Structure 1
């Protein structure tokens, strides 16, 4: 039996709270979007589509099978998603680039469990406080 690591456990829990799309839904979304959809990249130099593929692979893993790269990806995706939710545009439901980025990272901002503003800020602050 593998011992639990509290820091990784926390990242896993927050990641799975932030990534609110099940793997089949994310897979379908990634297959319907163009590779490297740079038009809605959250940060310069980040290939959102490739990052979404990494999210999908993590969703299909057990916690005990995570690699160091998986943990780093979970941290990055959590920060990117929450950062976008903290700064949600006023017309978010019609802001396709904003929503498309989040969908590609495994988060549907139109779901009722999607945190906004202060709620997202609290989660983001807790997550970045434990970042390596």
Structure 2
């Protein structure tokens, strides 16, 4: 695991880019995967990375595992690379928004 200062910075960065609450993300993942014919179990809805983000959101910083730290770093990198946080929102790009929401970042949320 990273040192304490590095983990603190990553925790802050993660919670800055992941602007959806665990309840909002959980509801989004369930809605996104709901289909007319099939629907996964609630705890299996959404992509694996979305489920991992949800698990991290439900943890305290002291309970993080090395895998949680890797997930946090990946999400920070992905969201930072795909967004311009200073110039959001871009409501016209719905598919981009939905992809970002699946990992906890809603570009239309202040």
Structure 1 length-normalised TM: 0.66
1:98 alignment partner in structure 2 = 96
The CA distance in 1 between the partners of 2:24 and 2:89, in whole Å, is 24
Aligned-pair CA distance for 1:14: 0.5
Tell whether the 8 Å contact from 2:89 to 2:108 is kept in structure 1 after alignment. no
The CA distance in 2 between the partners of 1:102 and 1:71, in whole Å, is 19
**Greater relative contact order (CA < 8 Å, ≥ 6 in sequence):** 2
When the two chains are superposed, the root-mean-square deviation of aligned CA atoms in Å is 2.2
Aligned structure 1 segments of 4 or more residues deviating by more than 4 angstroms: none
| Unpaired stretches in structure 2, ≥5 consecutive residues | 35-45
Tell whether the 8 Å contact from 1:19 to 1:105 is kept in structure 2 after alignment. yes
State the number of aligned residues.
Answer: 95
Match of 2:70 among 59, 69, 72: 72
Structure 2 length-normalised TM: 0.79
Deviations 1:8-64 (A, max 9, x none): 1110011001100010000000001138xxxxxxxxxxxx71101100000000000
